[in-house]
Chain A
Amino acid sequence: METFEYIKPKSMDDAMNALNTYENAFLLAGGTDLLVGMKYNSIKPECIVDIKEIPRMNTFEFNDGWRFGALVTVRDIEVSDRLKQTMPFLNQTAKALGSIQIRNRATIGGNLSNASPCSNFGAMFLAMDAMLKIISKDGERQIALQDFFCGPNQTVLKKGEILTEIRVPEDAGKAEGIFLKHSAGKSNDLGLVNIAITLHREPGTNLCKKITIAMGAVAPTPIRAKKAEAVLNNNILTPDLIIRAAKKASNEATPISDFRASADYRRSLVATMVAKGINTLIKAS
């Protein structure tokens, strides 16, 4: 491994300066993806900008919707009682990610920025219609997570930009939701398929007012199953309708075959998991 500069800025301004000084600077948060990339020489940084000491990036709070700092660790989400009471599906999403050693370091902003097709938070936050706040030396911009990913390990982040915040609308906190990951055995391995669902029902009934279904590891980026959602929105969630939607979702998936699973297997997992997810939600009450 070639050597590199290491900079640990104490403020966002200093971080910006560092990012703009070096041609090939990389941000370091939890490091659980970055260090692996560096060891395999697929990432060759000229400079590493360790952003862990920038204030206010590792907290989350409710303030007219939820605001999550990008440096909140996966473990912080997993153990948060506050989230367990409001959005337990976020705790679930966190718990399904890697080992305890990884969850203690990995951050939610890193999980999104690394843009793995099977990113747990990529799928869950997509289902929650999350918005991202991105800062550069020219100011800040907001974009929908929907527009953030552009391919495996690729995002719209430009040189000199930092993802600083994830916001979810207040609405998402009132939904029921579930995160399902299917991997080989009971291992910590990446999901063969991830499914994230949020559901708003007419209280006390199975009338679906709004459902969101996101899928991971079945396309170059996490994606929404919009056609499946359309089948269910404003309808009563009957067993037949759920099966029809699950099949639609499976057709919307464009998985690849790799050493973990074949495309066909992944597609059939999608149908099974979407149906299971919805059924679990409506049986829970």
Chain B
Amino acid sequence: MVKKYPVRVNVNGDDYEALVDPRKTLLQFLREDLDLTGTKEGCDEGDCGACSVILNNRVVSSCLVLAVEVDNAVIETIEGVKTGEELHPVQQAFVDSGAIQCGFCTPGMVITTKAMLQEMPNPSTKEVKEYLAGNLCRCTGYVKILDAVENAKEKLKNG
């Protein structure tokens, strides 16, 4: 029997208690144990950003965090971004700008954009490119994603 460790964690406002295998990443824990499958696994080694979540107010790659490390942490995943049935302005901006093709990178893009706009409401294009540099998209060519971020900035300003 593999020894398991107790973890208490708040995800999207809900408290969870679980016993976890120490080898499990936060990404696996979210997807397999909590059934929050919006967060995607791309590379599983910290290079693509598909697994981005906000951990204690900072955007991180959940594939490079062990589930046992997040005891007592507060986490936001893509499932927690909308309010009720209403999309978050960042999500709506991605839809409006046509910044989604296959959609695999989108949860990570949205989470990272949200984290960025919380830290700096009015980033320059250069700052946006730097902040999103760890989020890879194989479909869109990034132009529409940058449009979506501009759009999201406006929406939040007028919010």
Contact = CB atoms under 8 A, between A and B. Distances in A.
B14 to A, nearest CB: 23
A99 B66 contact: no
Nearest to B5: A6
Given A32-B46, A36-B46, A39-B45, A4 B23 contact: yes
A158 to B, nearest CB: 26
Interface stretch (B56-64, B76-84, B92-100): B56-64
Contacts of A9: none
B58 A104 contact: yes
B58 A75 contact: yes
Interface string A15-43: 00000000000001001100110010000
A78 B21 CA distance: 34
B43 to A, nearest CB: 10
B147 interface: no
Interface in A21-73: 28, 31-32, 35-36, 39, 48, 50, 52
Contacts of A39: 44-45
Contact of B60 (A52, A101, A188): A101
B52 interface: yes
Given A101-B59, A188-B133, A188-B134, A36 B22 contact: no
A4 B60 contact: no
Contacts of B75: none
Interface string B28-70: 0000000000000000111001001000001111011110110
B22 A101 contact: no
A164 B136 CA distance: 35
B3 A101 contact: no
B25 interface: yes
B134 A100 contact: yes
Interface residues of A, number: 27
B22 A31 contact: no
Contacts of B46: 32, 35-36, 99, 101-102
A98 B22 contact: no
A3 B21 contact: yes
A5 interface: yes
B131 interface: yes
A31 B134 contact: no
- Consensus secondary structure, chain B interface: mixed
B69 A50 contact: yes
Contact of B61 (A3, A28, A102): A102
A75 B116 CA distance: 13
Contact of A105 (B22, B65, B71): B65
B106 interface: no
A8 B7 CA distance: 12
A284 interface: no
A102 B69 CA distance: 16
Contacts of A95: 130
A3 B64 contact: no
A98 B66 contact: no
A6 B134 contact: no
A8 to B, nearest CB: 8
A99 B129 CA distance: 11
A48 B22 CA distance: 9
A36 B61 CA distance: 12
B133 A5 contact: no
Interface in B95-144: 112, 115-116, 130-131, 133-135
Given A3-B22, A6-B66, A98 B60 contact: no
Contacts of B133: 99-100, 186-188
List of 3 A-B pairs having minimum Cβ-Cβ separation, nearest first: A99-B134, A104-B58, A6-B22
Given A6-B68, A35-B66, 6 more contacts: A3-B3, A4-B22, A5-B3, A6-B5, A95-B130, A187-B133
12 contacts: A3-B22, A4-B22, A6-B5, A6-B22, A6-B66, A28-B66, A35-B46, A75-B58, A99-B134, A101-B46, A102-B46, A105-B60
